[in-house]
Amino acid sequence: MDAPVPVVGAGIAGLACARALSDAGVTVRVLDRGRRPGGRMSSRTMHGRPVDLGASYLTARPGSVFAAVVDGWLDRGLARPWTDTFAVAGPDGVRERKSGPLRYGAPRGLRSLVEDLAAGLDVVQERTVERVTAGPAVDGDAVPAAVLAMPGPQAARLLDPGSPAARLVAAERWDAALAVVLGWPERRWPADLHGAFVHDSPDIEWVADDGDRRGDGAPVLVAHTTPELAARHLDDPDAAAPGVVTAVTAALGIDTPPEWTAVHRWTFAKPADPREEPFGLVDGVGLCGDGWHAPSKVESAWSSGDALGRALTAELR
Ligand SMILES: Cc1cc2nc3c(=O)[nH]c(=O)nc-3n(C[C@H](O)[C@H](O)[C@H](O)COP(=O)(O)OP(=O)(O)OC[C@H]3O[C@@H](n4cnc5c(N)ncnc54)[C@H](O)[C@@H]3O)c2cc1C
């Protein structure tokens, strides 16, 4: 039997790619350095319940293949419709409400959706890949092809500088973000807040009502900082918490500080300029994720991985 095709990265792009390959009869092995699948669809248990620390929600273009995947999650209670309306706030308070596409959340956290995609696949966690060289070879082992499903700067670290695959990602610039979790003993904001885009703040861009999106009503908010604030605090993310508390309470008109906070750092949160092409594939090395298939979001990352899986299947045949 051929050696399995290694898919490096157990985020949603890597698992969509691995599923497409596996469904077509290609043997795959997913390798991820983390303890669990999820990547930036990360949920961590805090104060007895999961909190979403990366993506806040997902969208699905009606009629798309991804929408059918989301329908499957809805049918099984893994995903839930959240809202199509958010507040728009300035640094000193809520200004208006705006409607857009329906957003979906996950009662057990968004990570549970990625874990669902991983079910039945050969997934090896806590395995950090160091080198992907010509051949291709992964950490010295020859493989039929290799997939790197991760932000471009992380893929670039694995590739020989100057190789065709490295050249595809060499110019990528990514922004950082901090996710700051704020917990109160009881809710201190209107039940119909759902979430708030925060404009004109040097500190925060977005606040999500985590209890509302997950459906358990817990008095927990998650704020995402501006890239500028994150860049200043990459070495000491916890030091950003007091300023973020001040910004969140002022923007949402909350009169009591939270009882507890926690900070998570995303060094590569979002690509500054995601490209339109769905994926990269050169010399047996595939690249996918939300740096491809703009705009950068969960739906794009899934579509990028799925498209690469189909293209690679055809190439391997
Ligand atoms: C703060 C924040 C807010 C966001 N909000 C939203 C939102 O509301 N809606 C939305 O649709 N999208 C949102 N996004 C974007 C969304 O999270 C991403 O588009 C999507 O999760 C990307 O998936 P991916 O599989 O491409 O990459 P990732 O999820 O980053 O997966 C990459 C994986 O590769 C692994 N890896 C990296 N290097 C190695 C190595 N050397 N060896 C082994 N494994 C490795 C990592 O452990 C990781 O699991 C947000 C992102 C962030 C950070």
What is the model's pTM? 0.97
Cα 261 to averaged position of ligand 1 atoms, centre (Å): 23
- CATH of residue 223's domain is 3.90.660.10
Query: How many structural domains is the chain composed of?
Result: 2
Verify that 179 and 97 share a domain, yes or no. yes
Residue 49: inside a domain, yes or no?
no
Atom of ligand 1 nearest to the CA of 155: 38
d(CA 126, CA 124): 7
Residue 50: inside a domain, yes or no?
no
Instruction: Based on DSSP, count helices (H) and strands (E) in the chain, helices before strands.
Output: 9, 18
* pLDDT at site 100: 96
Q: Which domain holds residue 247?
A: 56-109+173-272
Ligand 1 near 13 CB (within 6 A): yes
Q: Whose CA is nearest to atom 12 of ligand 1?
A: 297
Residue 32: inside a domain, yes or no?
yes
Verify that 207 and 118 share a domain, yes or no. no
Residue 314: inside a domain, yes or no?
yes
- CATH of residue 166's domain is 3.50.50.60
Verify that 114 and 35 share a domain, yes or no. yes
Ligand 1 near 132 CB (within 6 A): no
Select from 143, 125, 156 the least CA-distant residue to 283.
143
Residue 51: inside a domain, yes or no?
no
Verify that 131 and 1 share a domain, yes or no. yes
At residue 206, φ and ψ (nearest 5 deg) are -160, 140
* pLDDT at site 1: 53
Ligand 1 near 266 CB (within 6 A): yes
Verify that 125 and 247 share a domain, yes or no. no
Q: How far is CA 38 from CA 13, 187, 233, 307, in A?
A: 10, 28, 24, 19
Q: Whose CA is nearest to atom 4 of ligand 1?
A: 55
Cα 33 to averaged position of ligand 1 atoms, centre (Å): 13
Residue 257: inside a domain, yes or no?
yes
User: Encoding tokens for residue 267?
Assistant: 């060094």
Atom of ligand 1 nearest to the CA of 53: 1
Cα 116 to averaged position of ligand 1 atoms, centre (Å): 16
Q: Which DSSP category does 3 fall into? A: P
Q: Consecutive 10-residue runs of the chain (317 residues): their mean pLDDT?
A: 90 98 97 98 96 98 97 98 98 95 97 98 98 96 97 97 95 96 96 96 98 96 98 98 98 97 98 95 97 96 98 95
Question: Sign of torsion, CA 126 131 134 135?
Answer: negative
H or E stretch at 166: helix 164-169
* pLDDT at site 2: 75
